[in-house]
Amino acid sequence: MWWNGGVMRKEPTEDVVVQFADRNSLDVEIARKYFGHICESCGKKIKSKEVMAMNLKLSGRNAGKFYCKKHLMDIYRIDKIKWDEMVKGFKSDGCELF
């Protein structure tokens, strides 16, 4: 069985949030931000851990508004190639959000 950290759940339990935080070396408050967010621009549910990580990386860990990949790329004027380079760089740097 593959554990997805509960990212796809509507309402995670506290246990799921704590497990997700532990498995990803995150503070529990940061881990809570991965669950149940919708894009402020289009209302699409954000399901991807990578997109949530980029929201927090680009907007700050105290971000109150979240965006889908398309709108986040539009806001920060990032194309697909730049997005992929940034994600790869953050991951290789060991960013705990990814």
| Mean pLDDT confidence for 13-18 | 89
Bigger pLDDT: 96 vs 93: 93
pLDDT at 1 over 60: no
Q: What is the pLDDT of residues 16-69, one digit of tens each?
A: 889 988 988 888 887 777 777 889 999 898 989 899 999 999 998 878 789 999
Per-residue confidence (pLDDT) for residue 3, from 0 to 100: 52
What is the identity of the amino acid at 58?
Answer: L
Per-residue confidence (pLDDT) for residue 21, from 0 to 100: 86
- Per the CB < 8 A criterion, the answer to whether 76 and 47 are in contact is no
Per-residue confidence (pLDDT) for residue 16, from 0 to 100: 87
Locate the domains of the chain by residue range: 38-92
> Distances in Å between the alpha carbon of 64 and those of 22, 78, 80?
23, 21, 24
Per-residue confidence (pLDDT) for residue 90, from 0 to 100: 95
Whether pTM exceeds 0.75:
no
DSSP labels for 32-62? HTTSS-B-TTT--B---HHHHHHHHHHH-TT
